[in-house]
Chain A
Amino acid sequence: MNMIQAINSALDVCMDRDPAITVMGEDVGYFGGVFKATEGLQKKYGKGRVFDTPINEGGIIGVAVGMSAYGLRPVPEIQFADYIYPGLDQLVSEAARLRYRSAGEFTAPITVRSPFGGGIFGGQTHSQSPEALFTHVAGIKTVIPSNPYDAKGLLVAAIEDNDPVIFFEPKRIYNGPFDGHYDRPVTPWAKHPQSQVPEGYYRIPLSQAAVVREGEAATMLAYGTMVHVALGVIEASGIDAEVIDLRTLWPVDIETIEASVKKTGRCIVVHEATRTGGFGAELSALVQERCFYHLEAPIERVTGWDTPYPHSLEWAYFPGPVRLTQALKRVIEA
C-alpha cells in the first residue's frame, strides 16, 4: 500500500470495529476526499458515518467536539493543514481542555487528519507545517507518520486514543518516499519494504519513536518527509549517524532520544517548519537539559527559513540534502 491506501485501510478497519467512529470533512463523502484517503467509506458505512461538510473548519471541529459529548469518536479531516486555523479555537480552547475543565465528565476523543508539509510546489497555503502550534497546547497529542506501515498503525492508535489527536499526513510522501532530491524521479512505495501493510487490525503505540537507522557519529531527530531526507544524506555522506523518527511529536518519546544522544554526543534536529518557536526548539532544549554533559557539539537545527512558504523558491526553502549535509559536517567536525 502507499500512504493513502494505508490511511484508507486504517479508517476502514477502525470503522468496522467501532460503530462510534464517524468520518467527516470537506469532500470526504461521495467523492472520497481530494487525496482519496476516504474513498469507498461512505458507500460501505453509509452517510450517517461518512459525510461531506460545509467549508467551515471551525464548524467541522466544533461539531466533532459536540459529537464526542454524545459519545461518538469523530475523525474529521481538514483538507490542508494550512486551513486548520479557523478550527484553532475549537481545538485549543475546547477539544484540548474539555477533559481537564470538566474533570473528566466530558472528553473529546477526536482525531483530526490533515495533509501537511511542503515539497510539492504548494506555495504558501498548501505547504505549511503548523505542528508547533499544537505541540504547545496542553491536552493535544500530535502524530506524524513517515511511511505506509506506520501511517496505518499510528492512525489506528490515534483513533482509539481517548485524547484529541492531530494526525498530520506528509502529502509529499503519500505516493513514495522523498529524499529531497527533487531532480530525481520518485520511487513509488511499492518498491519499499514499509509498503508491506497488513490488511487487518494492528496498531503502533503513540509516544514511541523508531530508530530507523542505528549509528554512532551523531543523532538526527526527524519526522515525516524529513526522515527520508535524513536517511538519504547519511547514505551519501558515509557518516555513521543515527536517525530517530519521532512518529509522535508530543508527548514525545524522551527515553529513545536521550539514550541516542548520550551515545552519539551530537544532535541535529530536522523539520520543514519555520525555525523560530518551532518544535525543534523544544527538542533542542530537552536534549540540552538532559544530555548536557554528553554533548560534544552545539545542537544544530535544520529547518525551514522564517518566511512564509514560497512557491518558485521552494528548493531553496526546503531543508534538503545540501543544507542537511552541511549541518551534519559542522556537527561532526565541531
Chain B
Amino acid sequence: MAEAPAAPNMTPLSFHVPEPRFRPGDAVDYADFDRGEAGAVARPDVAALPADMRGHAYSLVRVLDDEGVAHGPWNPRLSPDRLRRMLRDMALTRAFDDRMYRAQRQGKTSFYMKCTGEEATSIAAAHALDRGDMCFPSYRQQGLLIARGWPIGQMMNQIYSNAGDNLKGRQMPIMYSAREAGFFSVSGNLTTQYPQAVGFAMASASRGDTRIAACWCGEGSTAEGDFHSACTFAAVYRAPVILNVINNQWAISSFSGIAGAEATTFAARGIGYGIASLRVDGNDILACYAVLDWAAERARGNHGPTLIEYFTYRAEGHSTSDDPTKYRSAEERGAWPLGDPIVRLKQHLIGLGEWDEERHAAMDKEVAEFIRDEGRKAEAQGTLHDGLSQPFTTMFEDVFEEQPWHLKEQSAQMQAERKAAGI
C-alpha cells in the first residue's frame, strides 16, 4: 500500500478519526461543559418555522436548576400528583431494570438491556402523549410501557420466553410488542421504526384522524439511512410525528463523535430537513415533558414534525453482553454534569414541599417489593432456563396469515424427527 505521495511538494492529507475525551483510567473533568442556565431558552410558538429554530438546535432546554428549582418558559407546571406519578414510574423502571439484569446474570434469561439514567426521556413521553398516539420505540424505551400501565408481569414473561409470553418465545428478550399500549413491535434492526412512525403519522393525517406518532432511536442510530428517509418524508408530508433522538453519548463502545457529534448537534440535523428541532436536558423530566408537549401540540395543530435531541448519559453498559470498563472511564457516570433524573425530580418535589426522604424511601421499598412479587409470579410461569415453554409447532405459525403447504410439511417433519429420536 505504501506508495510514494502523488505530489511530494504538497502537504500530505491527514485522516481524522474522532476519539472520546476519556478512556478507561482517565480522570474525568466536565468543567468546560456548557449546560446553559435553567430557564434561559425561549419557548417558541408551536407554529414556529423550522428556520427560526436554529438556536434551539444548538442550546439546551432546561427547567430544573442544580437545586431542583423550576425556571423559565418551559416549566410545564404539572400538578404535584402528576410529578409523584412520574417519579414513581421512573423508580419502577429502574427497579425493573435492576431485577431483570440480575435475572440475566442468574441465567434465567439470555439477555437484558437497562435504561439507567435515561428514565426521564421515556416516562416524560408516556405522560405527555395521548394513549392513542402510536409509539415506535427502540429497545431502550421500556419506560413507555411501564408508564402506560402495561403489565410488568407481561414484560417479564416476554423476557423469560415463558408460557405467558405474548410473543410465544419468538423474540429476544426486551423486543416487546404491545399494540394495546400503543407500543409498536421492537425490531433488532436499528432505526427501521423511524420511517414506520412517519408512515403511521402520514396515514393518520391522510385519513383526517387526530392521532400522532412518535419514534425513538439513539444518537448512534441516526447514522442509519432510515433516519434520513424518515426526516425527508416527515418534512415533505408535514407528518404529525415526533422524532426522538436519545443522545446518551455511547453506541455500544463508540462515543457520539463516531456518529457525527464533533461537528454538530443531532437536533441541528432536523433544521436541515426543515423540521422544527429542539435539544433538551434529558435528565430533567420537566424539560423533557415540556418539549414533548410542545411537539405534540405542534403535530396536532398540523404544523408538522419535531425532532428532539435528549442530551443524557447511558449510565450502564450497553447490554448484559457489554463491559463498558473496556472503553470508557468509570468516572463518567458520577461526574455527568446533568446528574440523575430521579434524584433531580425528587429534589424538586421536596423543594415544593410535596415530598420528603421518608416518603421516597417508602416508595423505593414499595416498588422493589412490587417488582419482586411480579418477578416471582412471572418465574412461576417459567424462565428460559426451564426450556421450551411454548408448543414447538407454534414456531411455524404467524409466518403467514394461513400456513402454506411447506410450513405444514416442515412442522410435521419436525414432529416426526423428534418422535423418532425419542424426544
* Chain A residues proximal to chain B, CB less than 8 Å: 22, 48-49, 53-54, 56, 58-59, 62-72, 74, 86, 89-90, 93-94, 97-107, 138-139, 141, 161-163, 207, 251, 254
Are A70 and B225 within 8 A (Cβ)? no
User: Which chain B residues (193-229) contact chain A, with CB distance < 8 Å?
Assistant: 194-204, 206-207, 213, 225-226, 228-229
* Chain B residues proximal to chain A, CB less than 8 Å: 134, 136, 166-168, 170-171, 175, 177-179, 184-185, 187-189, 192, 194-204, 206-207, 213, 225-226, 228-230, 232-233, 236, 398-401, 404-406
Residue of A nearest to B211 (CB): A70
Are A103 and B166 within 8 A (Cβ)? yes
Are A22 and B206 within 8 A (Cβ)? yes
Are B405 and A254 within 8 A (Cβ)? yes
- B170's partner among A63, A100, A251 (CB-CB below 8 A) is A100
Are B202 and A105 within 8 A (Cβ)? no
Are A101 and B171 within 8 A (Cβ)? yes
Q: Which residues of A contact B232 (CB under 8 A)?
A: 54, 56, 59
Q: Which residues of A contact B399 (CB under 8 A)?
A: 99-100, 138-139
Q: Taking A63-B195, A66-B198 as contacts, is the C-beta distance between A103 and B401 under 8 angstroms?
A: no
Residue of B nearest to A59 (CB): B229
Are A98 and B404 within 8 A (Cβ)? no
Are B194 and A62 within 8 A (Cβ)? yes
Q: Which residues of B contact A93 (CB under 8 A)?
A: 187-189, 192
Residue of A nearest to B177 (CB): A102
Give Cα A58–Cα B192 distance, bound, in whole angstroms.
9
Are B404 and A251 within 8 A (Cβ)? yes
Q: Which residues of B contact A65 (CB under 8 A)?
A: 195-196, 199
Ranked 4 nearest A-B pairs via Cβ: A66-B199, A62-B195, A63-B199, A59-B229
Q: Taking A58-B195, A59-B233, A63-B202 as contacts, is the C-beta distance between A106 and B225 under 8 angstroms?
A: no
Q: Taking A63-B198, A71-B203, A101-B177 as contacts, is the C-beta distance between A106 and B185 under 8 angstroms?
A: yes
Residue of B nearest to A255 (CB): B405
Q: Taking A89-B189, A94-B189 as contacts, is the C-beta distance between A69 and B196 under 8 angstroms?
A: yes
Are B192 and A54 within 8 A (Cβ)? no
Q: Taking A54-B233, A66-B196, A101-B177 as contacts, is the C-beta distance between A94 and B187 under 8 angstroms?
A: yes
Give Cα A139–Cα B187 distance, bound, in whole angstroms.
15
Residue of B nearest to A164 (CB): B400
- A103's partner among B225, B228, B233, B398 (CB-CB below 8 A) is B398
Most buried by B among A65, A71, A102, A104: A102
Q: Taking A56-B233, A86-B225, A138-B399 as contacts, is the C-beta distance between A103 and B177 under 8 angstroms?
A: yes
Residue of B nearest to A251 (CB): B404
Q: Which residues of B contact A49 (CB under 8 A)?
A: 206
- B200's partner among A54, A70, A99, A139 (CB-CB below 8 A) is A70
- A48's partner among B166, B175, B206, B236 (CB-CB below 8 A) is B206
Q: Which residues of B contact A161 (CB under 8 A)?
A: 401
- A66's partner among B170, B195, B225 (CB-CB below 8 A) is B195
A-B contact count (CB 8 A): 141
Give Cα A68–Cα B202 distance, bound, in whole angstroms.
11
Give Cα A62–Cα B239 distance, bound, in whole angstroms.
14
Give Cα A107–Cα B400 distance, bound, in whole angstroms.
10
Residue of A nearest to B401 (CB): A162
Are B185 and A163 within 8 A (Cβ)? no
Are A70 and B134 within 8 A (Cβ)? yes
Give Cα A58–Cα B195 distance, bound, in whole angstroms.
8
Q: Which residues of A contact B236 (CB under 8 A)?
A: 54
Residue of A nearest to B199 (CB): A66
- A141's partner among B134, B228, B400 (CB-CB below 8 A) is B400
A-B contact pairs, 28 of them (CB 8 A): A56-B228, A58-B195, A58-B225, A59-B198, A59-B229, A59-B232, A62-B198, A62-B199, A62-B230, A63-B198, A66-B195, A66-B198, A69-B184, A69-B200, A70-B207, A89-B192, A90-B195, A97-B187, A98-B185, A99-B398, A103-B168, A103-B177, A105-B178, A105-B185, A106-B177, A162-B401, A251-B406, A254-B406
> A41 → chain B, closest Cβ, in Å?
15
Q: Which residues of B contact A90 (CB under 8 A)?
A: 192, 195, 226
Q: Which residues of B contact A104 (CB under 8 A)?
A: 398
Q: Which residues of B contact A64 (CB under 8 A)?
A: 199
Are B177 and A53 within 8 A (Cβ)? no
Give Cα A22–Cα B206 distance, bound, in whole angstroms.
10
Q: Which residues of B contact A22 (CB under 8 A)?
A: 203, 206
Residue of B nearest to A92 (CB): B189
Q: Taking A56-B232, A67-B203 as contacts, is the C-beta distance between A107 and B196 under 8 angstroms?
A: no
Are A53 and B206 within 8 A (Cβ)? no
Are A106 and B171 within 8 A (Cβ)? no
- B175's partner among A54, A69, A101 (CB-CB below 8 A) is A101
> A83 → chain B, closest Cβ, in Å?
14
Q: Which residues of A contact B168 (CB under 8 A)?
A: 103
Q: Taking A100-B170, A103-B168, A254-B405 as contacts, is the C-beta distance between A62 and B203 under 8 angstroms?
A: no
Are B179 and A106 within 8 A (Cβ)? yes
Give Cα A72–Cα B171 distance, bound, in whole angstroms.
25
Residue of A nearest to B215 (CB): A66
Residue of A nearest to B134 (CB): A69
Residue of A nearest to B208 (CB): A48
Most buried by B among A56, A103, A107, A251: A103
Give Cα A69–Cα B202 distance, bound, in whole angstroms.
11
Give Cα A178–Cα B185 distance, bound, in whole angstroms.
45
